[in-house]
Amino acid sequence: MNEKPKSKLRWRLLRWGLIGLAVLVTLAAALLTEENWRGKHAWENYKRAAEARGDKLDLASVIPPAVPDDQNFFCAPIVAEALSHLGDNFSGSAQKMDFRMNFQIYRGDMANWINKGGYWQKGIMTDLTEWQRAIRKFNNTAEGKTNGFPASAQPQSPAADVLTALSVYNPALEELRQAAARPGARLPLDYEDGFDAATKMLPWLAETKRCAQFLELRTVAEVQDGQGAAALADSKLLLRVNDSLRQPFLITFLVRIAIQAISLQPIYEGLAQHRWNEAQLAELENTLTTQDFLADSLASLRGEKVFTIDDLEKQRITRLMIYSDGKQVITNHMSAMPAAYFYQNQFWFAQLNDRYTALIDMTNRVLSPSAFKRLNEEMEAAKKHYSIYKVQALMTVPAIWATILKVARIQTEVDLATVACALERFRLAHGSYPETLDALAPQFIEKLPNDIVNGQPLHYRRTDDGKFVLWSIGPDEKDDGGTVFLTKSGAIDQKRGDWVWKN
């Protein structure tokens, strides 16, 4: 065959191949443009609908308002000084404040020496004898002889010895009390940094929890020593320090839940030992009623929603996903990712967040674990059908689900403690506990809280030994008669059994 026809044929094939490639590229570009438009359109439609119902999605809607320094807990001298010791994490417009919360009021090593803390959910009191022994043992060490705790020449009661040892921190504690009297609490963070700001808070959160453990020990000792007024003041201080963490981040909310659980141990021990008087009980009850974790859960989940949307927006602009795996900061380059990916993940995450928060019934104060479990199972099933448009949105499911279970439990425990205070007030007035909870309202409690698991009344019975059992039907939504189930390791079973308060 002639070379010339072959050359022409090759040229035609190449030309048609190039044309075909151009067509494919054009089609791909058109499809990508359409996908980006569809993603943006879906997201813009969602934003308009959200704003129409008053659901703002901008950072300004969740960032705490400015607080004058003289009214800000975090600008009080002892707190500001603590902040200045934790590294280059915190900065404010007026001054740089990096911190390590030491407060000079808690020696964390002691927590590792003793495993004899109270456990009110199991009805276990704090064994201060072990603390007494540990303190005196420490004072006899080489370090203790130069840097020990104050101690009497001869052992006193365990509670008195613990309080004597902790008295070294009294000046700092009084400074903390003055700080807690300030009405505002705004961290010196660049909240506009979103999740980056939340990461910088981690050292503060850990140290705040240690401060709560210190206050728990001190308050328990005051209860056991018969110092009701001091125990009440420190219980309120612990709750006020915890309230300072009402920030727009899910992580701060989870730490607040943990600290709230810590705060209930001294209250429980005072009730079980009949150490609170009527006035103290009334004040405790009023203080507990201000702890609304249902409402706070909505605020924290909304903050999580806004910061996640903002994070996805930053990813779309920079094409970088930056996160920490707990050991190092990882940067994923996403330059080839279409804009549709970011828009659609914003859209699906916002919808997912809305579906979870819609199940928190503030009108009837109901948060059904089974309803959330069904939604969680639906979301877990969705993970099996992989979609690049939902991948980041669905990654949040475990965190939200775990949070909801903790909210249901801690709000129930706060409600049980509140009713327990009212029951003790009734006992002081009448010599015994009532036959039914209805006898408490309105004299000893303005309104009885319902069981948030199902909206029905809490369960209660007097026992033959003159005590009582008060309970919610718990996470399995089945009445087990006030029974707490334990796992093989001895921990409380989080999936079955009732949530119980026994005096």
Confidence at residue 26, expressed as pLDDT on a 0 to 100 scale: 62
Whether the CB-CB separation of 408 and 455 falls below 8 Å is answered with no
Q: Which residue has the higher pLDDT, 27 or 172?
A: 172
Q: What is the mean pLDDT of residues 1-13?
A: 65
Q: For residues 127 and 221, give the distance between their C-alpha atoms in angstroms, rounded to a whole number.
A: 10
Confidence band for 99, pLDDT divided at 50, 70 and 90: very low
Radius of gyration of the chain (CA): 29
Statement: residue 15 has pLDDT above 80: no
Confidence at residue 401, expressed as pLDDT on a 0 to 100 scale: 77
Q: Which residue has the higher pLDDT, 244 or 377?
A: 244
Confidence at residue 485, expressed as pLDDT on a 0 to 100 scale: 93
pLDDT tens per residue, range 87-96: 555 543 333 3
Statement: residue 263 has pLDDT above 50: yes
Whether the CB-CB separation of 492 and 485 falls below 8 Å is answered with yes
Whole-Å CA distances, 293 to 222, 374, 407, 448: 27, 22, 6, 17
Q: What is the mean pLDDT of residues 242-258?
A: 95
Residue for token digits 């981040």?
249
Closest of 357, 345, 355 to residue 314, by C-alpha: 345
Confidence at residue 82, expressed as pLDDT on a 0 to 100 scale: 80
SS3 184: strand
pLDDT tens per residue, range 323-342: 665 566 667 777 888 898 89
Alpha carbon dihedral 22, 24, 28, 33, in 10-degree steps, equals: 50
User: What tokens does 489 get?
Assistant: 């390791």
pLDDT tens per residue, range 214-238: 899 999 999 999 999 999 999 999 9
Whether the CB-CB separation of 310 and 65 falls below 8 Å is answered with no
Q: Which residue has the higher pLDDT, 437 or 92?
A: 437
Confidence at residue 80, expressed as pLDDT on a 0 to 100 scale: 86
Q: What is the mean pLDDT of residues 189-194?
A: 90
User: What tokens does 328 get?
Assistant: 């190092």
Domain parsing of the chain, residue ranges: 3-55, 67-276
Q: Which residue has the higher pLDDT, 7 or 491?
A: 491
User: Among residues of the chain, what percentage have pLDDT more than 70?
Assistant: 86
Confidence at residue 104, expressed as pLDDT on a 0 to 100 scale: 38
Statement: residue 300 has pLDDT above 90: yes
Confidence band for 103, pLDDT divided at 50, 70 and 90: very low
Whether the CB-CB separation of 35 and 343 falls below 8 Å is answered with no
Q: What is the mean pLDDT of residues 87-111?
A: 39
Q: For residues 27 and 286, give the distance between their C-alpha atoms in angstroms, rounded to a whole number.
A: 67
User: What tokens does 327 get?
Assistant: 């050991």
Confidence at residue 329, expressed as pLDDT on a 0 to 100 scale: 65
Confidence at residue 19, expressed as pLDDT on a 0 to 100 scale: 65
How wide is the angle at C-alpha 222 spanned by C-alphas 217 and 227, nearest 5°? 165
Q: For residues 79 and 73, give the distance between their C-alpha atoms in angstroms, rounded to a whole number.
A: 7
Q: What is the mean pLDDT of residues 101-117?
A: 45
Statement: residue 29 has pLDDT above 90: no
Q: What is the mean pLDDT of residues 298-311?
A: 94
